[in-house]
Amino acid sequence: MSERLHPTSDEEFAALKARVARLERLEEQVYFQEQTLSELNDVITLQQKQLDHYQARLETLEEGGVFLELGGQLLDLGLDVDAHRVASFLR
């Protein structure tokens, strides 16, 4: 199917204009989809960095026995907390 570059009738010209308009709309959609994907990628990257940061902080706290100490302090205050259960849950 070969297409002529110069339409010979008004009908062919209208069909060609409709195809050009459709291609322009598709190009615009692709541009905005690429922009959206880029923004989503930036958000996911930032969230992963935050997750890594908080995971490292949690591991540091666990290694220092902070949760066991905190559980003991809560028990001293009369709160019904099983420090060993809380500490093992967080590991």
Summarised one tens digit per residue, pLDDT across range 38-90 is 999 999 999 999 999 999 888 887 777 776 667 667 767 766 555 455 555 55
What is the per-residue pLDDT for 63?
Answer: 75
What is the per-residue pLDDT for 62?
Answer: 74
How far CA 82 is from CA of 41, 61, 64, 66, 87, in Å, comes to 41, 18, 18, 14, 9
78 DSSP assignment: T
pTM of the predicted model over 0.85: no
What is the rounded distance in angstroms from the CA atom of residue 47 to the CA atom of residue 33?
Answer: 21
Of 66, 74, 51, nearest to 87 by C-alpha is: 66
What is the rounded distance in angstroms from the CA atom of residue 58 to the CA atom of residue 47?
Answer: 16
Q: Is the pLDDT of residue 35 over 60?
A: yes
The token duo for 7 is: 């339409």
